[in-house]
Amino acid sequence: MIPEFGQLSLIIALLMAITLSVIPMVGSFNGKLIWMSASRSLAAGLFVFVAIAFALLTWSFYVSDFSVAYVANHSNSLLPVQYKISAVWGGHEGSLLLWVLILSGWTLAVSVFSAKLPLEMLARVLSVMGIIAVGFLLFTIFTSNPFDRVLPNVPRDGGDLNPLLQDFGLIIHPPMLYMGYVGFSVVFAFAIAALISGRLDSVWARWCRPWTNSAWGFLSVGIALGSWWAYYELGWGGWWFWDPVENASFMPWLAGTALIHTLSMTEKRGVFKNWTLFLAIFTFSLSLLGTFLVRSGVLTSVHAFAADPTRGVYILGFLAVVIGGSLTLFAFRASAVKSVTGFELMSRETFLLANSILFAITVNFVLLGTLYPLASDAFNLGKISVGEPWFNMFFTKIMAIVAVMIGIGTMLNWKKTDASKLRFWILVPLIASFWIGVLAPLAFRGDYSIPAAISVALGSWVILSTLSDVWRRTEKASTRTAGLKRLSRSYYGMVLAHIGFALSLLGATINTIYSDQRDMRLTVGKPIEAAGYQYELADVSQVRAQNYNADVGEVVVSRDGEELFRLSPEKRRYMSGGSIMTEAAIDAGFFRDIYVALGEKLSNTDWAVRIHYKPVVRWIWLGAIFMAAGGFLALADKRYKLVKKAETKPVPAKTDKNLVGQEAIAK
Amino acid sequence: MNTVRKQRLMLVMFIVAVSTLGVGLTVYAMRENMNYFYPPSKILAGDAPMGRSIRAGGCVVPGTVERADDSLLVRFDVTDGIGQISVTFDEILPDLFAEGEAVVLTGMLDREGVFVASKVLAKHDEQYTPPEVADTLQVDDTANHTAKCKGMSYDS
């Protein structure tokens, strides 16, 4: 019965979502207060029923109810309990349910933290989010129902969760990523509401910013987790492949980055309102596109997609309605929200605008590289894949320009700046970073690398110019600490995020240039030398665990004859399904990782072993954490107290309005 | 047309021109980095270029996998049911690489027509054949991508 209750609560959630997408919206045009305020309780109801459905599916996984097709396909009685739970979102149906759960969670959050929002605006925002929920609930119920049963022939055991997904990284990666993806629906809904009302002022931007920042922060963490997971779990030692699935999550992040920056202009100066609205629509559209790419099967093959097109066609249709609808609305209404004030060339606006344009261009590059192979296959122009060099070529160049601009842009004032006053504050970090860049490659083994010099110079320029700006802004204060205290939290958020950008930039470039990656044939007991370390395969033993058997190697790593540490890479064979998995062993460090993975057994004494020396690879993810932390820190700024105050207030019980909601459903 | 409209028209035309140029240049740059897929029979027919990166794929012919004694170098044949090509690879093979299973390769053809692979991808799990391979395999099972290499005879 449990799965049927899950099914039922999904259907109730759908009815709630339909009501939410109609009643408050209509009410906002008719001025009916009760209709509009019904939005809050409907949002709560939607969340509760989706949460019940999700909890019941989780329960089915927990008790291994293999009469549920989705459970039977993605779980197994041998699976450790934490993976039974995370298997809930290990497949298509469950991850869609997670999508809807998170969407209803954001909807609820908006309704709770919106004490100061005009009712009309709130009603429209929640209604738009309701429309999105309707789309995804319909999709879940009709094409990807996680509660479908396999009756009467219930399988005795499940087909197991893909061993790749039996990992801590995969427990938290999808929820984080979805928090980001779906979080952009909030600013999207705000944009649509603004277009409908034709009112877009700095207050509007102030409402949007915390939501956008937090979605962007979650997405940053989600992408970093995915990259980290690929690094240690896939056994190749790479951290980014420009794979379409990665690009699908990276595109909304790039657009979101542009959006965060234009929102700050719209809030502070009331300029580029249309561009901000467009980016809000664009960012969420990319989230939807990402969902389509990953969930429709179109990436595995255009033809596989054509063979079973129900899911893909549905999302494509939904995509067309949402994107087409919102862009049409944008075309008709954008002129209603005009920007008035002007600014000069040497102003923060110029740099922020250029930043957002650069990021928008980057998105289009990535989009082209991701969709071109699909189009080529669909039109029978040949099966192609776009190589990583192409992505790297444009991406590094655009990011280099971004890095140069960050340093100057943060120092400039709004509207206009007397550049001569900044000369000292720009020149000092400029000269310092130039010399750091020139000298840095000497510290590494091998030939002098000019790309490394440029990357280090750019990275240190971003960090030093940011710090120089902090120094400059605290100069006039009575004491340095007093000055530091006076700077706003959103300013510190920016500082953190920009330093994070520099860390990721340094990590990615230095790692790419100086990594030493080798595949070698190792004989037990015979040490070899690579990148200044000696590696000896001491032993390979068999180990048995709960749901797999493994060959575990023991690799002794030493330097100049002195043993440093031992690594135990594993080769696992999972009992159900028989999949083989490589578990790399990593000695992680702030300045370098040593990465050892076991390949095949070549003879009784010989094994293929992958040995990588990876400098500063951790900085890539550390940078992402800094960026996310910056985004979240900015939320705590005093300006957004509107949101903060509401937070402390208990949610008032609204039994009367709940009744209204339920009556509406009864109809 | 008044001046405001004229200005707007100019702006729109400017944006259209610049973005067309941009897209054109990027697609042109992309051509250099595109890896086309060729099934073994096409390679044997001489359709594939030599000395530039391409992709190929098919089923690993059972009994053809040979390993060197002192290095990681491995040599095996790949077939699509019509033609058979030799492949060499000197890095670690993926976990799911096996005789009679599907692989997708990235690499170059050398003068002797041997495919020198720089990347070998094996199928993800036991029920799956990579779509490129499945689409080009000459097996009478067109509907799905399930374990196509198993349904093959390797006599050719």
Same domain for B100 and B82: yes
Residue of chain A whose alpha carbon sits nearest to that of B124: A579
Per-window interface: B 104-133 vs A, CB < 8 A: 124-126, 131-132
**Residue listed under structure tokens 């060099």:** A389
Whether B72 sits inside 8 A of A579 (CB atoms) is no
Total structural domains within chain A? 3
Same domain for B57 and B2: no
By Cβ distance, the residue of A162, A369, A580 closest to B30 is: A369
Q: Write down which residue in A592, A614, A636 finishes a domain.
A: A614
Does residue A80 lie within any of the structural domains?
yes
Here the tokens at position A527 are: 């040490």
Mind listing the pLDDT tens digit for each residue in A38-59?
999 999 999 999 999 999 999 9
Same domain for A625 and A559: no
Same domain for A72 and A150: yes
Q: Which amino acid appears at position A174 of this protein? A: P
CATH number at residue B49: 2.40.50.140
Contact present, A351 and A426 (Cβ < 8 Å): no
pLDDT at A650: 41
By Cβ distance, the residue of A303, A384, A579 closest to B135 is: A303
Mind listing the pLDDT tens digit for each residue in B79-113?
888 888 999 999 888 887 888 888 889 899 988 88
Closest CA to A433 of A454, A408, A419, A405: A454
Residue of chain B whose alpha carbon sits nearest to that of A573: B95
By Cβ distance, the residue of A387, A578, A581 closest to B33 is: A387
Whether A521 sits inside 8 A of B53 (CB atoms) is no
Same domain for B93 and B54: yes
Same domain for A624 and A642: yes
pLDDT at A384: 81
B47 in contact with A, Cβ within 8 Å: no
pLDDT bracket for residue B123 (50, 70, 90): low
Does residue B67 lie within any of the structural domains?
yes
B93 in contact with A, Cβ within 8 Å: yes
Residue A368: list chain B partners with CB under 8 A. 23, 26-27, 30
Compute the nearest-CA separation of B32 from chain A (Å): 8
Same domain for B55 and B14: no
For A367, A380, A390, the CA distances from B29, given in Å and listed in that order, are 15, 21, 7
- Interior CA angle at A479 toward A473 and A481, to 5°? 75
Same domain for A510 and A428: yes
Does residue A321 lie within any of the structural domains?
no
Cβ partners under 8 Å of residue A600, min gap 6:
A607, A608, B92, B93
Range of the domain at B139: 37-151
Same domain for A103 and A50: yes
Cβ partners under 8 Å of residue A634, min gap 6:
A209, A210, A213, A489, A490, A493, A494
Residue A370: list chain B partners with CB under 8 A. none
Residue A612: list chain B partners with CB under 8 A. none
Candidates A384, A581, A595: best to mutate against B (most CBs of B within 10 A) is A384
Residue A464: φ, ψ to 5°? -70, -40
Does residue A592 lie within any of the structural domains?
yes
Taking chain A, what is the end-to-end CA distance rounded to the nearest angstrom? 26
Closest CA to A578 of A547, A543, A600: A547
**Does B62 sit behind a cis peptide bond, omega within 30 degrees of 0 on the bond before it?**
no
Does residue B69 lie within any of the structural domains?
yes
Same domain for B97 and B55: yes
Give the count of beta carbons closer than 10 Å to the beta carbon of residue A29: 13
Total structural domains within chain B? 2
Mind listing the pLDDT tens digit for each residue in A237-275?
888 888 888 899 999 999 999 999 999 888 888 888 889
Round the average pLDDT of chain A to a whole number and report it.
87
Same domain for A552 and A447: no
Cα(B116)–Cα(B94) distance, integer angstroms: 16
Mean pLDDT, rounded, for A584-607: 90
Does residue B82 lie within any of the structural domains?
yes
Mean pLDDT, rounded, for A415-429: 84
Residue A318: φ, ψ to 5°? -60, -40
By Cβ distance, the residue of B23, B37, B72 closest to A608 is: B72
pLDDT at A238: 85
Same domain for B72 and B54: yes
Does residue B111 lie within any of the structural domains?
yes
Residue of chain A whose alpha carbon sits nearest to that of B19: A361
Here the tokens at position B78 are: 């790949």
Whether A599 sits inside 8 A of B96 (CB atoms) is no
Does residue B156 lie within any of the structural domains?
no
Compute the nearest-CA separation of B62 from chain A (Å): 18
Q: Is the pLDDT of residue A288 over 70?
A: yes
Mind listing the pLDDT tens digit for each residue in A99-139?
999 999 999 999 998 888 889 999 999 999 999 999 999 99
Does residue A181 lie within any of the structural domains?
no
Same domain for B104 and B28: no
Q: Write down which residue in A120, A145, A166 finishes a domain.
A: A166
Q: What would you report as the CA-atom Rg of chain B, rounded to the nearest whole angstrom? A: 22
Task: Supply the ipTM of this predicted assembly.
Answer: 0.78
A390 in contact with B, Cβ within 8 Å: yes
Does residue A176 lie within any of the structural domains?
no
Mind listing the pLDDT tens digit for each residue in A441-485?
998 877 899 999 999 999 999 999 999 999 988 888 888 888 888
Whether B92 sits inside 8 A of A599 (CB atoms) is yes
Contact present, B72 and A519 (Cβ < 8 Å): yes
Range of the domain at A581: 524-614
Residue of chain B whose alpha carbon sits nearest to that of A373: B34
Does residue A282 lie within any of the structural domains?
no
Same domain for A149 and A73: yes
Does residue B19 lie within any of the structural domains?
yes
* Top-ranked range on mean pLDDT: pick from A423-427, A574-578, A618-622: A618-622
Same domain for A543 and A440: no
Same domain for A105 and A67: yes
Same domain for B46 and B25: no
Contact present, A515 and A613 (Cβ < 8 Å): yes
Same domain for A558 and A443: no
Residue B89: list chain A partners with CB under 8 A. none
Same domain for B30 and B1: yes
Closest CA to A487 of A560, A552, A428, A410: A410
